[in-house]
Structure 1
């Protein structure tokens, strides 16, 4: 595609807000209490980029004894920690500033629920910049790796998919971007480049590099 794009769509967790290290510890510790002891690396491999429903189903298949109502319980644990401790991804504010200066709109497309994004984006001071352009798997039929949430963001903005760039940090999300026929950049500051490289158009390890990659 010709750069700059007409719309940039960001994943939320791990791209806008540095929530995944906090969330992964909570998932590991909670599953251990329910009979499934796995490492942080296994949590990352199995669950990052997915949904909490997917975590629940996979964990049960692996032997975790998760009670009815577990989803509400784990979300409550996660929300409490994120509300107190989550920080923005380093450099993301400068990226949004550069997009604003260039007049290029941006949006969020996440597998997380709206309540989670409300918490993390509010604490990090990003929500005012994204209001009205925040899309969740709750808004579409299928979560990532299906392209639904990214296609919805593009449709709402009135931008053709092939004029969009997706910024992702998970293989599941990158597959969603590619399935949407969008140029997909993989942010690998905390992700394994080998998992993203085959399904991304470009990889980058610092948000400082993103404005140049976008042609700003």
Structure 2
């Protein structure tokens, strides 16, 4: 592991913006209205780090009666809540400041759609820092845990994969980072450490620790 890297690629939800507690509640309440009443812990276990198409397919398998327009409806609910309530992950701005000071590139690689990131990054004041360096699962053939989003982020920046660090908070995202051949740090402030340990090079619980871990 040679640090500091030439580039850091951040997942968005749960790493840059504290969106997952908000969207998990929206999902739980919506699925309950459609016949699948499961706990927030189960929502996290099943769905965090995946895609909403995957949520729809799995929920139907578990018995939810979801209409054909469910994706549009759930996104509308989520976007409304995020536009009003989402906040930054604590101390992430200091991490970005440290990367800027060190001249290290950074970008976003997310399973979320561009519209969602436009809402969350704009509300939290990060959009100008990432504009033009945001890769969504909409831009690639296969979402995480495939490595596509991270490989595209590195390719777009002209950075070798072995000079990139991925920061993700889900097992799916961490597997994507490893599959891309990148150093993978797991942010586990709200994640299951046991599920993250096998798929990360290192774990951490506070963004205050990340600059040091990156060798800054």
Is this a same-fold pair by TM over 0.5?
yes
Consecutive unaligned residues in structure 2, runs of 5 or more: none
Q: CA deviation at 1:17?
A: 0.2
Partners of 1:137 and 1:36 in 2: how far apart? 26
Residue aligning to 2:74: 74
Q: What is the TM-score when the length of structure 1 is the normalising length?
A: 1.00
How many residue pairs end up in the alignment?
A: 216
Equivalent positions of 1:13-32 (< 5 A) are 13-32=13-32
1:105 is aligned to 2:105: yes
Partners of 2:45 and 2:84 in 1: how far apart? 26
Residue aligning to 1:194: 194
Partners of 1:97 and 1:125 in 2: how far apart? 13
1:138-159: CA deviation from partner (whole Å, max 9, x where unpaired) = 0000000000000000000100
Q: CA deviation at 1:2?
A: 1.2
* SS of aligned partner of 2:181: coil
Q: CA deviation at 1:69?
A: 0.3
Equivalent positions of 1:120-131 (< 5 A) are 120-131=120-131
Consecutive unaligned residues in structure 1, runs of 5 or more: none
Partners of 2:208 and 2:68 in 1: how far apart? 44
Q: CA deviation at 1:119?
A: 0.1
Equivalent positions of 1:13-52 (< 5 A) are 13-52=13-52
Q: Which runs of 4+ in 1 moved over 2 A?
A: none
Alpha-carbon RMSD: 0.3
* SS of aligned partner of 1:142: coil
